[in-house]
C-alpha cells in the first residue's frame, strides 16, 4: 500500500535510500533530502507500512511560465505498479496552468511520458559528472552566486 504527499515536512534521510540506481556517483540520502528541500515542487510516494519513500518526483519553476521536471524515480522493487504514473500525473496537475513543462529523458522513455500527454521536443544540456553526487553543492551558495 502506497500513499502520496506533496509535503516533505517531517521527512528524514533515513526514509530515503536506494535511489539514483545506476548513477556512478550517486547523491547520499542526506544530499537527496537537500535536493527535495531545494525543489519548488515535490511529490513523494511512501510505503504506508514502513514509511519509506519508494518514489519521488521534483520540479523547478519560475511560477509564471515555465517548469522543469528534474527527477522522477521509483525504487526498482516498486516499479510497474503505476507509482511512476501517479507521481507524474500529480506533478502535472500541480503545474497545470503554466505555459511550458519540460523534462529530459532517454528515447525509450518517450512512450511513458507520451501516455501522460507529453510530446517530444529537442533539448540541450550540461552535465558535470564530477559533481554528480551533489556532495558539496549548497543551495545557499547557489543562491548567493546569483
Ligand atoms: C520510469 C519510472 C519512473 C516508471 O515508474 P513505474 O512506477 O514503474 O511506472 P508505472 O508503473 O506507472 O508505468 C510503467 C510504464 O513505464 C514504462 N517504463 C518504465 N521504465 C521504462 C524504461 N526504462 N523505458 C521504457 N519504458 C519504461 C513501462 O514499460 C510501463 O509501460 P506500460 O504501462 O505501457 O506497460 C521507473 O521505471 C524508474 O524509476 N526508472 C528509473 C529512473 C528513470 O528512468 N526515471 C525517469 C528519468 S527521465
pLDDT tens digits, residue range 28-54? Answer: 999 999 999 999 999 999 999 999 999
Provide the whole-model pTM.
0.93
- Percent residues over pLDDT 70 in the chain: 93
- Asked if the model's pLDDT at residue 137 lies above 90, the reply is no
Confidence band (pLDDT; 50, 70, 90) for 136? confident
State the average pLDDT for the chain.
95
Q: How far is the CA of 108 from the centre of ligand 1 (A)?
A: 9
Contacts of 52 (CB under 8 A, 6+ apart): 15, 17, 46
pLDDT number for residue 138: 67
Answer yes or no: is the C-beta of 74 below 6 A from any ligand 1 atom: yes
- pLDDT at 139 (0 to 100): 62
Give 3-state DSSP helix, strand, coil % of the chain, rounded to 5: 30, 20, 45
Q: Quick one: what percent of the chain has pLDDT higher than 90?
A: 92
Q: Give residue 145's pLDDT.
A: 60
Residue 121 pLDDT more than 70?
A: yes
Distance 9 CA to ligand 1 centre (A): 27
Q: What residue owns the CA closest to ligand 1's atom 35?
A: 80
By C-alpha distance, which of 61, 27, 58 is closest to 43?
Answer: 58
Residue 142 has pLDDT above 70, yes or no: no
Contact 116, 85 (CB under 8 A): yes
Strand order in the sheet with 66-74: 2-5, 41-47, 53-61, 66-74, 100-102
Q: Tell me: pLDDT of 146 over 90.
A: no
User: Is pLDDT above 70 for 19?
Assistant: yes
Q: What is the pLDDT of residue 38?
A: 97
* Residue nearest (by alpha carbon) to ligand 1 atom 12: 82
Amino acid at each position: 500500500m502506497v500513499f502520496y504527499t506533496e509535503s516533505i515536512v517531517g521527512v528524514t534521510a533515513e526514509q530515503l535510500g536506494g535511489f539514483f540506481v545506476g548513477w556512478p556517483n550517486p547523491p547520499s540520502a542526506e544530499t537527496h533530502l537537500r535536493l527535495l528541500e531545494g525543489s519548488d515542487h515535490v511529490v513523494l510516494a511512501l510505503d504506508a507500512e514502513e514509511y519509506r519513500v519508494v518514489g519521488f518526483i521534483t520540479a523547478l519553476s519560475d511560477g509564471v511560465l515555465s517548469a522543469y521536471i528534474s527527477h522522477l524515480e521509483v525504487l526498482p522493487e516498486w516499479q510497474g505498479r503505476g507509482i511512476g504514473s501517479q507521481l507524474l500525473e500529480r506533478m502535472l496537475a500541480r503545474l497545470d496552468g503554466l505555459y511550458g513543462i519540460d523534462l529530459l529523458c532517454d528515447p525509450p522513455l518517450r512512450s511513458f511520458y507520451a501516455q501522460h500527454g507529453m510530446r517530444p521536443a529537442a533539448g540541450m544540456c550540461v552535465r558535470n559528472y564530477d559533481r554528480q553526487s551533489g556532495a558539496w553543492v549548497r543551495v545557499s551558495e547557489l543562491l548567493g552566486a546569483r
